[in-house]
Structure 1
Amino acid sequence: MDTAGRPIDITRVTAKVAARWVLRTWPDADWSLPHALDLGTGEFALAARGR
């Protein structure tokens, strides 16, 4: 999502690379819960409710 909350179009390859990087960087995260990653700051946290 961009800063306005709209989805960002990325290629399948980019999405796969990003997903692998997130899984390697935070292997102990509880993936049954939604998370948010801010690529500008590198902040990784549980996603806000309702998003």
Structure 2
Amino acid sequence: MGSLVTTRQAVTAVEEEAQYLTFMLGGEMFAIGILGIKEIIEYGSLTVVPM
């Protein structure tokens, strides 16, 4: 008969802090890792254009 051999490998957990940019869209909160952001553009007020 066959036998089952189980081995355990030591797993080293590296604890790293991360920063996120959070924003609200449609009533839901989203977050993007700060390292993936190149530029933040702040918009002024919107102008209504008649159609």
Question: When you count helix as a share of all residues, which structure comes out higher?
Answer: 1
Which has the larger Rg?
2
| TM exceeding 0.5 | no
Question: When you count strand as a share of all residues, which structure comes out higher?
Answer: 2
- The TM-score with structure 2 as length reference comes to 0.26
* Higher-RCO chain (CA-CA 8 Å, sequence separation at least 6): 2
- The TM-score with structure 1 as length reference comes to 0.26
